[in-house]
Each structure stands twice: as C-alpha cells, then as structure tokens.
Amino acid sequence: MNNDILTSYVPVKCGMVALVGPPNAGKSTLMNCLLKQKISIVTPKAQTTRNRILGVVNEDAYQIVLIDTPGLHQAREPLNREMVRLALESLTEVDVVLFLLDVSLPLPKEKDTEKKEQLAEWMQQVKCPAMLVLNKIDLLDRKELLPVIKAYSELYPFDAVLPLSALRDEGTEQLINAILPLLPMGPRLFPEDIPTDATERFLVAEIIREKIFLQTGQEIPYSTAVIIESFKENEENGLVTIHAAIVLERDSQKPIVIGKGGKKLKSIGIAARKDIENLLDSRVNLKLWVKIKKNWSKNERFLREELGF
Ligand SMILES: Nc1nc2c(ncn2[C@@H]2O[C@H](COP(=O)(O)OP(=O)(O)O)[C@@H](O)[C@H]2O)c(=O)[nH]1
Ligand SMILES: [Mg+2]
C-alpha cells in the first residue's frame, strides 16, 4: 500500500489566513517570509500587489494557506477599485484575518474620523478572528508600540496584537503559534509540494512588473501591465523562451521605459531574467517589448480579459 497517499488525508490544523491592510504595510514581505521563498513581489512603492496571491505553508502538523492582497485604500479609479474589492472579498473567505500596519508611520490624527470610519467599515465584514499585526518593529522602540495598539484597539476589537518584523523574520514564530489554535482540523487543502496556486506565467509577469516598479519613477509603475504572450521550453536544451509585452497607457511613457538606446528596457530585462531563472530553475531567454493600450487601467474590459479581474 502507498503510505504517501494515505498521509495526505490525515487531518492537520489547516485553514486560510488573509493578509490585509494599507498599501506598503509589508503584507507581501510577510507572506514571502512565512513561505521561506519569494512568491509575491515587493517594492517600496504603494500598490505593488494587484491580485490575490495564494501561498501555502506546509509543516507536518499544519497547512496555512495565506492570501496576500492588494492594499486597502480609498480607491477611485477602476483598477484600484478592483484591487480593493479583491482584498475585501478575501475577508469573508478565511478562518483568520491578519490586519497589518506599518508601525513606523504616524497614527491617524484624532480628528481624522473619515480614515477611522473607513477602517471600521472594512473590518465590519470580518466574521472570523482578526489579529492586529504591527509590522516593521525593527524601525522603532518597543515602547512606542503602546499608543499604536491603543489607537487601533479602539477602532476594532482585535483578538490579539502581534508585533513583528517581516523583513528580519522576527516575531513570526509567535504569529504562527497564535494562528494555529484558530484553524480547524481537516485534510490539507493543497498538495504539500506546491507553494502557490499561481501559474508560472503569472509569477513571471509579476517579476517583470516588480523590476519596472523598481527601475522607473513617477506614474510609470501604475501605468504598467505585463502580459506574457508566449512561454516555450525547448525540450532538448531546457532553454525557456518567454515573450512578454509591457503595456503602457500613453505614447509619452514609451521612451521612458525603453530609455536612451534601449538601456532601461535592457536593464529591466536583465534583472527580471535573473529572478525568472531562479523561479523556473532553468535558463531563460526573455524578450520584452513595449506597447500602448490607451488608458488600459480605466478599461474594464481590458482588466477583465487581459488581467483576469
Ligand atoms: N524596515 C522594514 N521594512 C519592511 C518590513 N516589511 C516590509 N518592509 C518594506 O516595506 C515595503 C513594502 O513592502 P511590501 O511587502 O511590498 O508591502 P505591501 O504593499 O503591504 O505588500 C518594502 O520596501 C519592504 O521591504 C519590515 O518588517 N521592516
Ligand atoms: Mg503587496
């Protein structure tokens, strides 16, 4: 009899945990840290994450399915509204919600009632235990945490408060220990050997987008979408050839992304290829080109059909 098959049905602590919070709180960093590998892209810029990204942490005694989400903010434009909608949807589908904050940021002012009411409104949709995760404690003194805890506890009755540093992997064991008692027992929801349900194509597009976020300024990152047009592996030598389109919103953005003599695009390609080779564990030939789709971020059909919102 095959014991491997039997063990995968053995019930363990198993459940879904959503990572939500304002842009830049460190949700994707925490997800990668708990997974011990990079699945979700991270940059210093807000609104890096645009989709829900699933990461599966497997141990003998548990399986934690993390859902990384776009940052919660007051969104007006179609793309941003879709992003917030995805984040809010995840609140209702999970066993535990982790509300992340960057503790190095100033607290909302006493009179900033709009901001506070917005948080309370978002959190009202939560029907499961929710923890306040105070991230980036490496940036300040522990005693400075008290006012943060006080201010946010007044806004929502969190079940626990956990200070940590996702960047330094400090306090994350305590986080896991706080999550586990809140998860039901059951068979694993995902096979033990795959860390995400995202396709390789999606992860490759995300890596390219990350490099554009890191290497361009102003509005360019927010005007960029990446579409993988082909993805082929040569069976003989293992070389993977990927054609990807960098989609911009306006003609004037094209020379910025291409750069003088194609320098910028080349540098984005070099950085992306390195990470893609690591991800796929094979040699990669990456072909990037830039195209314009006027105002794509406001085009609901494009968002749906090309970006899967
Ligand atoms: N100092 C410090 N920086 C962090 C920490 N966690 C995340 N960051 C940084 O905060 C920025 C935003 O992180 P990211 O994970 O993309 O935030 P998200 O928008 O919530 O997903 C990046 O520059 C991260 O390196 C932390 O614990 N300490
Ligand atoms: Mg993110």
Q: Which atom number of ligand 1 is nearest to the Cα of residue 25? A: 20
Distance CA 281, CA 286 (A): 14
The boundaries of the domain holding residue 176 are 3-186
70 and 155 part of one domain: yes
- Residues 49 and 113 grouped into a single domain: yes
Beta-bridge partners for 247 = 225, 291
The verdict on 161 and 236 lying in the same domain is no
> What does the pLDDT read at residue 1?
47
What is the reported pLDDT for 118? 86
What are residue 56's DSSP bridge partners?
65
- Is residue 208 domain-shared with residue 131, that is, in the same domain? no
Q: Is 32 in the pocket of ligand 1 (CB under 6 A)?
A: no
The predicted pLDDT at position 119 comes to 85
> Are both 161 and 17 inside the same structural domain?
yes
- Does residue 191 fall inside a structural domain? no
Q: How far is the CA of 269 from the centre of ligand 2 (A)?
A: 22
Residue 275 is assigned to a structural domain of this protein: yes
Q: pLDDT value at position 6?
A: 53
CATH number at 294 reads 3.30.300.20
- Indicate if 41 and 166 belong to the same structural domain: yes
Q: Are 142 and 248 found together in one domain?
A: no
Per-residue model confidence as pLDDT tens for the chain (309 residues): 455 555 567 899 999 999 999 999 999 999 999 999 999 999 999 999 999 999 999 999 999 999 999 999 989 999 999 999 999 999 999 999 999 999 999 887 777 777 778 888 899 899 999 999 999 999 998 888 999 999 888 889 999 999 999 999 999 999 999 999 999 999 999 999 889 999 999 999 999 999 999 999 999 999 999 999 999 999 999 999 999 999 999 999 999 999 999 999 999 999 999 999 999 999 999 999 999 999 999 999 999 999 988
Looking up residue 146, the CATH number of its domain turns out to be 3.40.50.300
| Overall number of domains in the chain | 2
Name the closest-CA residue to atom 6, ligand 1.
26
Q: From 35, 38, 42, give the residue whose CB has the most ligand 1 atoms within 8 Å, as the site to mutate.
A: 42
Q: Which of 158, 186, 214 represents a domain boundary (last residue)?
A: 186
- Answer yes or no: are the C-beta atoms of 40 and 209 closer than 8 Å: no
- 101/77 same-domain check: yes
Domain boundary among 132, 159, 186: 186
Residues 232 and 173 occupy one common structural domain: no
Predicted pLDDT of residue 5: 55
Query: How far away, in angstroms, is 170 Cα from ligand 1 center?
Result: 14
297 lines ligand 1 (CB under 6 A): no
- For every residue of 92-110, DSSP letters joined together read TS-SEEEEEEETTSPPPPT
CA 59 – CA 188 distance, rounded (Å): 11
- The residue type found at 28 is S
Residue 23 lies in a domain: yes
Does residue 169 form part of some domain? yes
- The string of DSSP codes covering 34-54 is HHTS--S---SSTT---S-EE
Q: Are residues 51 and 179 in the same domain?
A: yes
State whether the Cα torsion 65-70-73-78 is positive or negative.
negative
Measured CA to CA, the distance from residue 2 to residue 51 in angstroms comes to 38
Determine whether the shortest distance from the Cβ of 28 to ligand 1 is under 6 A. yes
Does a structural domain hold residue 56? yes
Whether 238 is in a domain gets the answer yes
The answer to the question of residue 106 being in a domain is yes
Q: In which residue are the tokens 């995840």 written?
A: 90
Same domain, 54 and 144: yes
236 and 162 part of one domain: no
**Are the C-beta atoms of 69 and 18 separated by less than 8 Å?**
yes
pTM for the whole thing? 0.94
Q: Which two tokens stand for residue 256?
A: 């910025």
Which among 186, 212, 238 is the end of a domain?
Answer: 186
Residue 78 C-alpha to ligand 1 middle, in angstroms?
A: 25
Examine residue 193 and state whether it is found in any structural domain, yes or no. no
- Residue whose CB lies within 8 A of the most ligand 1 atoms, among 24, 29, 86, 102, for a mutation test: 29
